[in-house]
Every structure is written in C-alpha cells, then in structure tokens.
Structure 1
Amino acid sequence: MRTEADVIVIGAGPGGAAAARYLAAEGFDVIALEKTRFPREKVCGDGLTPRAVRELQLIGLETPREEGWIPNHGLRMVGGGHRLEFPWHDLDEFPRYGLSLPRAQFDHRLAEHARAAGADVREGWHVDAAIRDERQDGYAGGGRVVGVIARETDAKGRKVGEPTEFRAPLVIAADGVSARIALGLGIERKQNRPIGVAVRTYLTTPRHAEEWMEGHLEIWDGERGRSNLLPGYGWIFPLGDGTANVGLGTLSAKGTPPKLDHRAMMRDWLAHSAHDWEFGEIEGDIKGAAIPMAFNRQPHYVPGMMLVGDSGGMVNPFNGEGIAYAMQAARRATEAAVAWRSATGVRDQEAALASYARMMKDDLGGYYSLGRVFAALVEHPAVMKACTRYGLPSPLVMEFTSRLLADVYEPRGGTWADKLLSALTRVAPAA
C-alpha cells in the first residue's frame, strides 16, 4: 500500500476534499484520509449562501436541480412580530442564489470530485497523531510535521488496523471540530473566541420545495415571556425531497458552550413557532454539535502543517456558516503549496507555506473581529430584543445587516452598505 505523497490531507469534509481536489488539479500527489465512509451524516443546516455557491463554482462542481440541488432566492426573517424577505443581492462578486443539499450527499459528491481530479481519497482511516522530525525546526518544542500515523476502521468507525505511517512534506489538517492533530501539537483553542452549539433534524413538510431559507430570531431559554431571549436563531431550509432541515443554534461570546438543553429548546420552539410549515412529527434523534468560530485555533500554519476549516475555527460568527470558509481556505492552502513548489531554497520554501496563515487573516481576520464584537453584543437579551423589534422593520438597517450577516457584499464599490462594510472589515484588527 502506497504511504508516501506530496501532501497528506486529514479529513475529506468540505475543506479536506476541496484541498485534495485543488492540489491534485495542480499536479500534486495527494492522499486524503477520511475516518468515516461516505455517505455519512454531519450536523449542519444544509444551506449554502451565495458565498458558498461561489466556492462551488470556483472548484468546478456542477449543481443541477435534477440531482437534488435546491436553489433559494434569499432569506426570510421572522421575529418581533415581523416576517420579511431579503433577496440575495445582485453583485458582481457572487451569484444571486443560494443552494440546499443534505450534507450526507454534499460531502460525498465533493469527495468524488476530488477523486475525479486524481486525489487518492481513502475512507475508513482514523488519523491518530502527527509524525515529527526532531532534526528539523518545528512548533512548541517539537520537530517539523512530516506525516501522520493512522489506523483503518470498520463499518462502525472502530479502529481495527495496525498503526500505519503516511509521510509527506506537507500535511493539511481538515479534521473538523475535534482538531485532534492540532491539539496533539499543542495548538490550543483561544478562550476569547465565540463558540456556537447547533442542533438539527429533518422534518416532513408540504412546503419542501419552497425557494427561500427561513430564519427565526426569537429563541428562548425557557417558557416564553418568562425567560431570556437568546443570541441565536432557528432555521428552516427546504430540501425539495418532502423534507426540510430544521434546527437552531445559540452563540457564546466567551468561548464556553452555553449550558442549555438545546434539544428541549428546539422542541419548545417548534411547539410555538413555524406552524404554517405543517411539520410532521420528529422521528429519530435530534443531532447536535459545537461550532468553533472566528479563528479560535491558531496558528493556522506550523512547520509542515496547515489547519483548514473547523480545525482552525473558520466559521462565521454572524451566521454559523463554515463550508464556504473551509473551501476558501483550501484554495488558499493550494496557492501557498504552488508557491512552495516553485520556490528555491529552504527559507523561501518555508516562507511560501507560511504565507497561507497570512492570506487567511487578510481574507477573513477583520470580518471575524467584527463578528466577535457582534457576539458580545447579542449575548445581552435587551440587545436581541431591540434588534428583532426595531431593526427588522427598518429597510435602511436591514440593507446593511443582511450583507453583514451573510458576508455577501462588493469588496470594491457597490452601494453605501457595501462600502461601509468594506471599510469596517479593513479597519478592524485581524486578530
């Protein structure tokens, strides 16, 4: 069995599969190790904003409706007694539509897209640890990362094989929220960054083919009227197959998951809201997961290894979206790898790889810093109440807010809202 390559990718979710695809298309020999087997479920809203759709276009993945991709025209917001629709903006930088597709299908198709470019995507391999070469300078008192140790798993995900070494001069860790490999190197989570918790299920509804994503801004931590309005939202994303992805998420600015029964909160929310969707009964489990946000794990590059996607906290604090940013990080990682391959001399090669972390901060650091401020504000129930009661009915406020929340705006030119958001992301510190 071949165990050496130019690049080892850990994980074949959106970030890992996109990295494998991009790298293979550039002529790199890539082995991607995915611990599960496709198709497999992930806790996700299954909704893609125009920013994520643009990433799909850049990577060349077709999204025909006849294969289950359901387009949406924009976001319907419900809260404070208001129900308003905000179409996606007509911008040069982004398509004017979003998409929905269950993650079990999305991840599988992206992995197959990587295989079609020549990437060796291997399912059922659990990566246990990084291999370090102590003869080369590394991170946190250890040597440079030069590969990983992995074991095969059975159909239930249990590790059954003998430890196997996979070696490459570059490793991309796209192993998700657990960030096991980063933790093993001493890359700890930043405690001052927001973290979210989300739960979701699939419910039948006669409105399953509706082409709007719906967000509910009033989530309570107890009986309505005698409890606090929480920072977060509920969502309904129609999937066109008789069902919708229905869930809710809350946000903690302090980096500690809130001690709330999110499954009970979701049942209570559905009992009091969204009756017009005529949902069927909840069948099976309501699945949940933590959501790392705003670059909550850094550095994104240490000698020999890059962090991509959730492993590096690359999730939008405003809306909880992570797919678009994981795929964007995969693009940037490939750009750095191409520069590394072209460089001559050890110093220039290392500088090329290290440029990945700088590119990610340049791309997203300012916007994520704004998100940290947003998270700290909306933790106050009075702020959330004012936002839903007074912000939603104001076209001027929502013109800006809709761009801010979705991260879909013209970085150069555009309307006053585009210009204001561009200016704010430039001046905000990219921490």
Structure 2
Amino acid sequence: MTQGLAAEAEADVIVVGAGPAGSTAAAYLARRGLDVLLLEKSAFPREKVCGDGLTPRATRQLIRLGIDTSEQAGWLHNKGLRIYGGDRPFELNWPDLTDFPPYGLVRPRADFDDLLAKHAVAAGAKMLENCNVTEPVLDERTGRIRGVRTRDGRTFLAPLVVAADGNSTRLSVAMGLQKKDNRPMGVAVRTYYTSPRTNDDYLESWLELWDGKPGQSDLLPGYGWIFGMGDGTCNVGLGILNTSSAFGKTDYKDLLQRWLDNTPAEWGFREQNRTIPVRGAALPMGFNRTPHYTRGLLLIGDAGGMVNPFNGEGIAYAMESAELAADAIAEAHYRGVGTPSAERALRGYPTALSDRLGGYYRLGTIFVKLIGNPQVMRLCTRYGLPRRTLMRFTLKLLANLTDASDGDAMDKIINGLSKIAPSA
C-alpha cells in the first residue's frame, strides 16, 4: 500500500478530529487492539461553540465510555429542563428510564474535549495536535482513501479513515460528499456572563424570545437557552433553524442582546458582565451529508450531520455514531481490510445508523418545518405548555429519551413513529 509514498506515520486507522466524536471513536478502537492515529488541527485545551449542557442521552454515552460522571469528578448535574414559553416557566424532570440515567450534565467544552482526548490516549491511541488535515491520499486506481495530508505537507497512511472534522469536514468534501440542502440546518451563537444564576438544577430552554415585554412586543425568531455553569457564570445562547424566514438574514449577536436586554437585570445578562466574545457555529442536522461510509472513509458526528433536529443536541449523537463506527471498523480489521467480508462489515455502519436514528431524524425534519412558522410555535406554547402530560411526552420526543423494550405508552408511541417513518 505504501510503496513509493513517504509517510510520517502509518496506522490501522486514522481519526481526523479530536472532538467528542473523534476521541470516542479512537478510544473504542484502541481498546480493541487497533493502532489508532488521532489527528487534531489545534491544541488542547481549546474552545468550541456549544451550550455545554448534556442530556441523559449524552450522559449514557459517557458512562459507556468509562468516564466518571460524578460531581466529585467535576461534573455539574441537572435534574431536567425548565421551559419558558406562554405565561410562566414550566419544569420537567428527566424521565426515569431503564435505558438512560436520570440526570444530565454541564461541563465547559474546553475541559470536556480535553478530558475525552486524554481518555483516548490513555486507551492507547496516539494523538498529534496542531495537525491540520487538508486532503485525502487516494489510490489512483480505485479512488479508495489510503491516508491523509496536512497543511504543513505531512502524510499519514492507513487503510481506513474516520472523518470527525466537524461541519465543514474538508476531508469529506474532498471525497465528493456534499451537504444535502433538503435537510435541516441551524446556526447557534453563545457567550458567557457572570451571573447569580450560575447554580441551577435545570437546563433552561426559551421557546419564545421577545424584544420587549412578553406578549406585548415583537416575537424574535429562534429559541434560547440559559445553562448555569456552577463556576460563577452562565452559558447563554440562541439558535435559529433554516426553516425560519430570518435564517441567514439576521444579525445573530444583535438578536441575542435584544432578547437578553429584556431579562431581569439582577440575572446579570448585560454587556458589562459578558466574559468572552459572542461566537457562532453551524448545526448540521438530520444526516445532511451521506453516505456515511464510502471507499474506506467513515463519517461521524457533525461531519455526517448527526445533530438532532428536535433539540439541537450534537454530542450524544457524535459519541453514538463513533461507537457504531468503531464496531464496524474493528470487525473489518479482524476480517481483513480489503476483503469482501470486511467491506460488508463497513457497510453495516450506515445501516446501523439508519436503524437507530433514521426514522427519528425524519420526524425531526418534519418538526422543524412546522416550528419554522412563528404562529405554530405560538400556538404550541400557549396551549401545549400548561398540559403536563403532553409536555412529558414532548420532552421524551425532543430529547429522544425512551426505553426500547419495556417503556410506557409514551415510549411505545414515539418508538413506533420512529420505526414507521422513512429513514432520513
């Protein structure tokens, strides 16, 4: 494979990007005895635009990976979701389930990503920082990927490569994998403020953003969040979906400030209390880039558009896709990469993804089209929020928290809808 090509290093598999998806994949693969090379374009610790809040679905993935999620280990726990919309805030605890723990988490991404990367290294992966991958190395005869090149001219070789390089995923684009315009896309902006609300048992979601007194001013596009960080600050941000008429036409930083200017002054969400600049990021949703496996390349996390259209959550699905990809890669490795049997194992990865999330993401695509209409959102908040049973169902649906086998009636309805919906 490597004849005539000088390589900086060779491995069984290269993982490009050491975010939650890449580090999770690298850890699982290294545990299974593969020689793993994890390439990260920046250096840890580094900041990422994120809400920093994790639902029980993400908590489960951390537990599966072997991460200590206790408060003693530095994690801030939360009980559920506080929803603002309509006349008053509404608190819902996370459901008590067999398949998921009953708590969510908060941790800054700079610390979170560093922790996961170190976990992968401790498992046996070799990580190189400041290693910016710009293009694939291809077999001229078959078009199959056989490695990657970096901006500084280095070459790394492996028979299998995992693209965990985020929404822009230069590697996938270079392999001819473009985004699907018919899938949901979001934009989120966030910053931090010093605030007395820093200690909060609930993640907070705002379904209505007003630029003045609620109900007596203009309703702004998008949804907001306030997550207490437990360190004297709150992570505050908002997101807009491409189903909104304001998408791509709005000054999102100004929109954030207009909303926050009308929150109570004692909360502290004012310019003088902001600790870092407002930053934004894209949210690729609903499998907006496929196929998730082709010619030796597997897409995980944001590279494959894994963000949940219902709630904008990405980390849980980044880690889930990483685990599924690692299963397929390890199977292919031990069957013998390049054999028909190994290829069948690799093609099982997108099938497993589709079986687990395809129908659910299709429902999410329908959902975001509905809520892109402000009138629909207003009716939902006015007539839906006061009904606790309906909101418990909605929380399970939006957060994708159901028991697969022994759930209640709500679980069975949600699981049934996901099964009969065509795959995204």
TM over 0.5: yes
Give deviations 1:318-350, integer Å, cap 9, x for gaps. Answer: 111100001001100111012212326711111
Q: CA deviation at 1:254?
A: 8.4
Please list every run of 5 or more consecutive structure 1 residues that lacks an aligned counterpart in the other structure. 137-142, 152-160
Specify which of 231, 235, 238 is matched with residue 245 of structure 1.
235
On the 8 A contact 2:138/2:147 being kept in 1, the answer is yes
Secondary structure of residue in 1 paired with 2:234: strand
On the 8 A contact 1:54/1:95 being kept in 2, the answer is yes
Give deviations 1:326-383, integer Å, cap 9, x for gaps. Answer: 1001100111012212326711111111111111111110110000000000011110
Output the CA distance in 1 between the equivalents of 2:410 and 2:174.
Answer: 43
Cα gap change, 1:343/1:118 in structure 2, threshold over 3 Å: closer, same or farther?
Answer: same
Q: Does 1:37 align with 2:43?
A: yes
Give deviations 1:406-429, integer Å, cap 9, x for gaps. Answer: 111112232211111000000011
Q: Does 1:194 align with 2:219?
A: no
Give deviations 1:108-142, integer Å, cap 9, x for gaps. Answer: 00000000001001110000100110222xxxxxx
Give deviations 1:7-44, integer Å, cap 9, x for gaps. Answer: 00000000000011110011000001100101111000
Q: CA deviation at 1:222?
A: 9.3
Q: Does 1:218 align with 2:208?
A: yes
Q: CA deviation at 1:82?
A: 1.9
Q: Return the letter of the residue paired with 1:123.
A: E
Q: CA deviation at 1:207?
A: 2.3
Specify which of 253, 263, 267 is matched with residue 263 of structure 1.
253
Give deviations 1:33-75, integer Å, cap 9, x for gaps. Answer: 1001011110000000000000000000112324431000000
Output the CA distance in 2 between the equivalents of 1:254 and 1:216.
Answer: 16
Q: Does 1:285 align with 2:291?
A: no
Q: Does 1:115 align with 2:118?
A: no
Equivalent in the alignment of 2:375: 382
Q: Return the letter of the residue paired with 2:332.
A: W
On the 8 A contact 2:84/2:204 being kept in 1, the answer is yes
Secondary structure of residue in 2 paired with 1:414: coil
Q: CA deviation at 1:81?
A: 1.4
Equivalent in the alignment of 2:33: 27
Q: Return the letter of the residue paired with 1:421.
A: I
Normalising by structure 2, we get a TM-score of 0.94
Output the CA distance in 2 between the equivalents of 1:201 and 1:294.
Answer: 26
Secondary structure of residue in 2 paired with 1:82: coil
Equivalent in the alignment of 1:322: 314
On the 8 A contact 1:35/1:124 being kept in 2, the answer is yes
Cα gap change, 1:226/1:71 in structure 2, threshold over 3 Å: closer, same or farther?
Answer: closer
Secondary structure of residue in 2 paired with 1:393: coil
Output the CA distance in 2 between the equivalents of 1:111 and 1:310.
Answer: 17
Cα gap change, 1:257/1:168 in structure 2, threshold over 3 Å: closer, same or farther?
Answer: farther
On the 8 A contact 2:51/2:190 being kept in 1, the answer is yes
Specify which of 202, 206, 219 is matched with residue 196 of structure 2.
206
Q: Return the letter of the residue paired with 1:262.
A: Y
Equivalent in the alignment of 2:330: 338
Specify which of 92, 99, 103 is matched with residue 105 of structure 2.
99
Equivalent in the alignment of 2:4: none
Q: Does 1:309 align with 2:296?
A: no
Q: CA deviation at 1:208?
A: 1.2
Q: Return the letter of the residue paired with 1:429.
A: P
Secondary structure of residue in 2 paired with 1:62: coil
Secondary structure of residue in 1 paired with 2:147: strand
On the 8 A contact 1:329/1:360 being kept in 2, the answer is yes
On the 8 A contact 2:40/2:131 being kept in 1, the answer is yes
Equivalent in the alignment of 1:139: none
Normalising by structure 1, we get a TM-score of 0.92
On the 8 A contact 2:38/2:125 being kept in 1, the answer is yes
Secondary structure of residue in 2 paired with 1:214: strand
On the 8 A contact 1:199/1:289 being kept in 2, the answer is yes
On the 8 A contact 2:309/2:364 being kept in 1, the answer is yes
RMSD: 1.9
Secondary structure of residue in 2 paired with 1:63: coil
Q: CA deviation at 1:233?
A: 1.6
Secondary structure of residue in 1 paired with 2:10: coil
Output the CA distance in 2 between the equivalents of 1:92 and 1:396.
Answer: 20
On the 8 A contact 2:71/2:77 being kept in 1, the answer is yes
Deviates more, 1:323-332 or 1:275-284: 275-284
Output the CA distance in 1 between the equivalents of 2:110 and 2:129.
Answer: 14
Output the CA distance in 2 between the equivalents of 1:268 and 1:387.
Answer: 23
Equivalent in the alignment of 1:370: 363
Equivalent in the alignment of 2:345: 352
Give deviations 1:182-212, integer Å, cap 9, x for gaps. Answer: 1111111000011111011111112212211
Secondary structure of residue in 1 paired with 2:46: coil
Secondary structure of residue in 2 paired with 1:241: coil
Q: Does 1:69 align with 2:75?
A: yes
Query: Would you say how many aligned residue pairs link Structure 1 and Structure 2?
Result: 414
* Residues 126-205 of structure 1 mapped to structure 2, 5 A cutoff: 126-136=132-142, 143-151=143-151, 161=152, 163-205=153-195
Q: CA deviation at 1:165?
A: 1.0
